[in-house]
């Protein structure tokens, strides 16, 4: 069994995952920005210990997927959700506590590792995973390996520029993909075009399905920008597969037509129609991703 820890902006999920990617059991704790790191780590340790006491089997190792960025040494960089985790090494600390190897990756990198091991396009030599929810993130598999940038960094696919006249982003750019096509961008646009302040992305998708003209226009606009970004990625990487995850992609059917139109129009120089594009079919993708980080680094079976 692999211990899996999925650190997100609203919750920290702790689970046990089989080598096949099958989830055995899990618990969930709220992410508390006010909580000191040592206390939060004690809660994670206690939760994992309890799961281990409930299920027979050997703990082979621990994998972690986390929101936010990591240094090349796998130390957490400052993170708005977990301020006291800054400069900490949860992988090293959990490895010490349980006397096993532990691995950690950014959650989008963790997700692409899980897709590569256990997803519908498992084994793809060139795979791009994109998560579209409040923000947009992604991970890349190149020649069967997790792609890393200079100094081991995680490339920020969600922050390539789609429209330089678009809204400013905290990354420094204007009109980057995340600011044009995320669930947050969808809700922001509706709010400034006559929608109610409490309309979130989920409700806007519901309203679009019911035929609300403003919601339909907003979904069409988002689909256009989503398609432009995906078309850019397909032109740049010509991957075997593009896997989509995140909350907004639970409504993929609303966006699919316009996205496919954009790709067909924009990707004239690469065989875009050979690229498999689809929504992730993994259950409990966050915990599967966490476990996959360990399998990627320490599991012998990871051998494509
Ligand atoms: Zn940005």
Residues 128 and 255 in one domain: yes
- Ligand 1 centre to CA of 66 (Å) is 19
Considering the domain architecture, whether residues 108 and 130 belong to the same structural domain is answered as: no
List C-alpha distances in Å: 147 to 2, 112, 244. 23, 10, 18
User: Ligand 1 centroid to 229 CA: how many Å?
Assistant: 13
- Measured in Å, residue 38 CA sits from the centre of ligand 1 at 32
Question: Confidence class of residue 9 from pLDDT cuts 50, 70 and 90?
Answer: confident
Cα–ligand 1 centroid distance for 186 (angstroms): 15
- The CATH code of the domain that includes 71 is 3.30.420.40
Are residues 153 and 203 both part of a single domain?
yes
Q: Are residues 132 and 275 in the same domain?
A: yes
pLDDT tens per residue, range 128-154:
999 999 999 999 999 989 999 999 899
- Give 273's contacts (C-beta < 8 A, 6+ positions apart): 264
Q: How far is the CA of 170 from the centre of ligand 1 (A)?
A: 6
Q: 247 and 204 in one domain?
A: yes
Question: For residue 275, what is the DSSP state?
Answer: S
Centre of ligand 1 from the C-alpha of residue 293, in Å = 26
Same-domain status, 77 and 24: yes
If asked whether residues 147 and 241 sit together in one domain, one would say yes
Asked whether residue 9 is assigned to any structural domain, the reply reads: yes
Asked if the structure places residue 118 within a domain, the reply is no
pLDDT greater than 60 at residue 301: no
The answer on 97 and 228 residing in a single domain is no
Q: How far is the CA of 174 from the centre of ligand 1 (A)?
A: 7
pLDDT digits (tens, 9 = 90+) for 190-239: 999 999 999 999 999 999 999 999 999 999 999 999 999 999 999 999 99
Look up the domain containing 252 and give its range. 124-279
190 and 101 belong to one structural domain: no
Q: Is residue 227 part of a domain?
A: yes
- Average pLDDT of the segment spanning 258-272: 96
- Tell me the per-residue pLDDT of 89-136, one tens digit each, with 9 for 90 and over: 999 999 999 999 999 999 999 999 999 999 999 999 999 999 999 999
Q: What is the number of structural domains in the chain?
A: 2
């Amino acid at each position: 069994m692999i211990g899996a820890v999925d650190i997100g902006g609203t919750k920290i999920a702790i689970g046990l995952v089989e080598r096949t990617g099958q989830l055995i059991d899990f618990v969930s704790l709220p992410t508390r920005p006010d909580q000191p790191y040592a206390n939060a780590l004690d809660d994670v340790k206690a939760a994992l210990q309890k799961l281990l006491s409930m299920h027979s089997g050997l703990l082979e190792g621990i994998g972690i997927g986390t929101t936010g960025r990591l240094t090349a040494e796998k130390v957490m960089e400052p993170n708005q959700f977990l301020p006291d985790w800054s400069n900490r090494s949860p992988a090293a600390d959990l490895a010490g506590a349980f006397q096993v190897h532990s691995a950690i990756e950014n959650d989008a990198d963790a997700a692409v590792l899980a897709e590569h091991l256990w997803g519908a396009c498992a084994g793809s030599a060139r795979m791009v995973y994109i998560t579209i929810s409040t923000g947009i993130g992604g991970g890349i598999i190149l020649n069967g390996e997790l792609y890393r940038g200079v100094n081991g960094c995680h490339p920020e696919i969600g922050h390539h520029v789609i429209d330089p006249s678009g809204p400013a982003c905290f990354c420094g750019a204007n009109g980057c993909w995340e600011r044009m096509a995320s669930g947050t961008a969808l809700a922001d646009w509706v709010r400034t075009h006559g929608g109610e302040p409490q309309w979130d992305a989920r409700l806007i998708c519901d309203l679009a399905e019911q035929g609300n003209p403003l919601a339909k226009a907003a979904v069409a606009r988002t689909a256009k920008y989503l398609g432009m970004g995906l078309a850019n990625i397909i032109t740049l990487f010509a991957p075997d597969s593009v896997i989509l995850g995140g909350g907004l992609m639970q409504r993929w059917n609303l966006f699919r037509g316009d996205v496919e139109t954009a790709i067909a129009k924009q990707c004239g120089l690469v065989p875009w129609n050979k690229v498999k594009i689809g929504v992730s079919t993994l259950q409990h993708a966050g915990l599967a991703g966490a476990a996959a980080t360990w399998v990627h680094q320490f599991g012998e079976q990871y051998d494509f």
